[in-house]
Chains A and B, each alone.
Chain A
Amino acid sequence: MSDCLDWYKVNKGVQHRLLDQTEWLGRGKMGFGPQKPFSGAEEKGGHGTYVEEEKLIASVAGAVERVNKLVCVKALKTRYNGEVGDIVVGRITERRRSAEDELAMRDYLQEGDLISAEVQSVFSDGAVSLHTRSLKYGKLGQGVLVQVSPSLVKRQKTHFHDLPCGASVILGNNGFIWIYPTPEQKDEEAGGFTTNLEPVPLSDREVISRLRNCIVALVTQKLMLFDTSILYCYEASLPHQIKDILKPEVMEEIVLETRQRLLDLEG
């Protein structure tokens, strides 16, 4: 929970102070680009910093993290950097031809399929190796994809959420978010190797559209995405029509309410 609070407060700082170039003191500190040197001779620089003229300077604009004497700056908007255990959602563009293909793997997962997978290992050049070795991963059926910046997806214990409003959501660490109707039976999970192509009922589609617009609203206002923030945003948006959520005034109002509720939750 404290991790969530750090991130949440840091993002609030970003929203209001990004143009200020001042350091925001709180549970998370903001460092901005090369103009912000750190004092303190004993501190070591980690990721996102460099030393110039015996001063430690941030090389990216982002949140400062201090662990004992190690100072790192985590950038706000980056390409996805994979880590072992991350969940990713994506479309198969190319596959390697290997012994697995000889076991007729291609019958199940082909190029062009949208899948969810887990990161198995990371290579030194940053490339990741994925696996779908559990039934909860695999092909994704009907649903809506929303692409956001990877830094806005909060790291949690689980990224597969069944929201009480009637839809389920997969928050990929790579920033790809998949919203789909909650399968009715317990054994039919999202994933596996068969696709369900039956028409989705209108009520489910309305919930999914509303969730999609809420996620877009949260992303535009730079709020972290996790199950609670999405749910609160959904509830705050209920009095408005689905298509109105994307209007700037309505978006601000909804996200303000969400932020307030999240603050009340911590306090």
Chain B
Amino acid sequence: EDLRVDGRGCEDYRCAEVETDVVSNTSGSARVKLGHTDILVGVKAEMGTPKLEKPDEGYLEFFVDCSANATPEFEGRGGEELGTEIANTLYRVFSSENSVDLKSLCINPREHCWVLYVDVLLLECGGNLFDAISIAVKAALFNTRIPKVRVLEDEEGSKEIELSDDPYDCIRLNVDDVPCIVTLSKIGYRHVVDATLQEEACSLASLLISVTSKGALTSMKKVGKGSLDPESIFEMMETGKRVGKSLHIALQKILDEEESLGTSRQKVGFLG
């Protein structure tokens, strides 16, 4: 009948707050608050050597840190397992070639390229981590500013890399094809989007799908002890695609609005 405990329908997200550029010494950052779930993502662009099998592309590295503040279970090394699981999921989601234009991250084929280190920090766990993390990653990548570099060649053939003096002279990433994860949790005979902690406790199986803004699926993962019927998997996929597309539209709207406010924007940050 489409009524959850807090009045939402099965396909409704909780009230979300997204803010970019919250950490000053990163190339890009974003903070997302989805109900009680709080995620902070920072992106740092550093120069590195391209991978051997892809000499003319840069790459992304993901690291997830589950802060002990998030829930008591993360005390000490409790959050490491979850952190590695999330990082591996992010690698899979971004493994598709079209998600991020990696060729634009190349400076000198085989020698220099930009490596984007994406660090995810879980500040509070309130259910539905993967969705919030993927939204934050997309917002942070949108906010990332990579300085423009020029390669100068000497007479002897040695190359020098010159960083532009102007701090505003930078390249931005195209995040149109960056996918977002939608988690569908099966409760009883129906499935819900954006489960709270209590709903997650009642759900035996969930399907994580990553959807691009055009509705294409880049990866799919099933989590949980319970089993899923192939029919319900198909239904969940359709729901996920639908919800994912509207999520992308809403997120892009917010990011564009924030962008248009420019430097006059009042930053809320952490103390607001």
**Residues of A in contact with B (beta carbons under 8 Å apart):** 144, 202, 205-206, 209-210, 212-213, 216, 241-243, 245-248
Contacts and interface: CB of A to CB of B under 8 A. Distances in A.
Interface residues of B, number: 11
B103 interface: no
8 contacts: A206-B7, A209-B6, A212-B5, A212-B7, A216-B6, A243-B6, A243-B8, A247-B15
Contacts of A243: 6-9, 12
Interface in B1-41: 1, 3-9, 12, 14-15
Contacts, number: 35
Closest CB pairs A-B (n = 6): A242-B7, A243-B7, A209-B7, A243-B8, A202-B1, A247-B15
Identify the interface centre among A209, A216, A245, A248: most chain B CB within 10 Å of its CB.
Answer: A209
Given A209-B3, A216-B6, A247-B15, 6 more contacts: A212-B6, A242-B6, A242-B7, A246-B14, A246-B15, A248-B15
Main secondary structure of the interface of A (DSSP, over half): helix
A213 to B, nearest CB: 6
B191 to A, nearest CB: 18
A241 B4 CA distance: 13
A162 B12 CA distance: 31
Contacts of B5: 144, 209, 212
Contact of B7 (A202, A213, A248): A213
B15 A245 contact: no
A14 B15 CA distance: 26
Contacts of A144: 5
Contacts of A216: 6
Contacts of B15: 246-248
Contacts of B14: 246
Nearest to A247: B15
Nearest to A208: B5
Contacts of A205: 1, 3
Contacts of B12: 243
A202 B3 CA distance: 8
A56 to B, nearest CB: 32
B7 A210 contact: yes
A212 B12 CA distance: 17
Contacts of A245: 7
Contacts of B7: 206, 209-210, 212-213, 241-243, 245-246
